[in-house]
Structure 1
Amino acid sequence: MIKLMLHKVFTSLLALIVLFSTVSFTVEKHFCGDVLVDVGVFVEAEKCEMEALETLQKKNCCKDEVDVVVGQDELSMSSIDDLDLEQQQFLYAFTYSLIFGFESLPKQKVPHANYSPPLIVSDIQVLDQVFII
């Protein structure tokens, strides 16, 4: 039970790691002087009121900073043709023996499956003083 639960947790975790390694996003920051005014993830950061005054006065105290986190573009996928002949033969033999190597036993009828034992009133071995040594 716990082994099955751990298996599900680890496979979900690995799937999330693959998902987040391939996602790209941008983080945009707007500074007014040395003070961080706004941060925007996936959207543009809001500008402050000083930005409108800067266009009139031609002073530059505001600055925008854009950080781009680039995800992985290609996942390495290899085909069977990339393997040499010995590795292909081993892979084929391994999968064949895994699929067809195990045969299940035929279902056997258990004659005493529905048998209920008699109620034990007293321990007969102790009463008769007969012990297996």
Structure 2
Amino acid sequence: MQSFNKTIAVSLVLAVMFATSSFTVNMHFCCNELVDIAVFTKAKVCDKAMDTQDNSSKECSLEKKGCCDNKSFVKEGSDNFQKNSFKTENQNLVFLHTFFYTYVNLFEGLEQNIIPFRDYDPPLIPKDFQVLHEVYLI
């Protein structure tokens, strides 16, 4: 249960961090194929290494000027969180103090299991009183 709570807390922190951060993804396409992708930096343009590859499309080649294309995806972070003021009164402080004190002490257990009657023997029963008085539990 404790690991589940930690997992949920970490995932919520990551969700808030992702929602408030902004980043840019740059992509470079040549002949409608993705050549390079970069996050936070510019994507590298295609070089003459693609010139040696066999193009399946005859109308798209590196010599054409309009064949390569750069595209960007911009994710802007939001900064519209409500800032709440936390005003406390004396009654609220007493309640919070009592609540946290009780909650912390709730999970403090004994280090070992203490059995107060471990060293005492049970009383000796000289006669079986149920048989003697013929009283049986049914």
After TM superposition, the score normalised by the length of structure 1 is: 0.57
Query: How big is the shift at 1:26?
Result: 0.8
Residue 29 of structure 1: SS of its match in structure 2?
A: strand
1:109 matched to which residue of 2? none
- Higher percent of residues as helix: 1
Change (3 A) 1:102 1:26: closer
1:48-70 per-position Cα deviation (integer Å, ceiling 9, x unaligned): 126xx9xxx67221110011111
Question: Which residue number in structure 1 is paired with residue 72 of structure 2?
Answer: 66
Question: What is the aligned partner in structure 1 of residue 128 from structure 2?
Answer: 128
Whichever residue aligns with residue 128 of structure 1, its letter is D
Unaligned runs of 5+ residues in structure 2 are 52-62, 103-113
CA distance in 1, matches of 2:33, 2:101: 72
2:27 match: secondary structure: strand
Q: Equivalents in 1 of 2:13, 2:115: separation in Å?
A: 45
The CA distance in 1 between the partners of 2:99 and 2:10, in whole Å, is 31
Kindly tell me: are residues 64 and 24 of structure 1, through their superposed partners in 2, closer, same or farther at Cα, counting changes over 3 Å? same
CA distance in 1, matches of 2:37, 2:21: 19
Q: Give the Cα–Cα distance (whole angstroms) in 1 for the partners of residues 100 and 66 of structure 2.
A: 76
The Cα of 1:74 is off from its aligned counterpart by 4.4
Aligned partners of 1:102 and 1:72: how far apart in 2? 34
Matched, 1:116 2:110: no
Is 1:25 matched with 2:23?
A: yes
Mapping of residues 5-44 of structure 1, within 5 Å: 5-44=3-42
State the aligned residue count. 107
The alpha-carbon deviation at position 47 of structure 1 amounts to 0.9
Identity of aligned residues (%): 30
What code does the residue aligned with 1:11 have? A
Q: Using structure 2 for the length normalisation, give the TM-score.
A: 0.55
Q: Distance in 2 between matches of 1:124 and 1:118?
A: 15
Runs of 5+ unmatched residues, structure 1: 81-87, 105-111
Matched, 1:98 2:96: yes
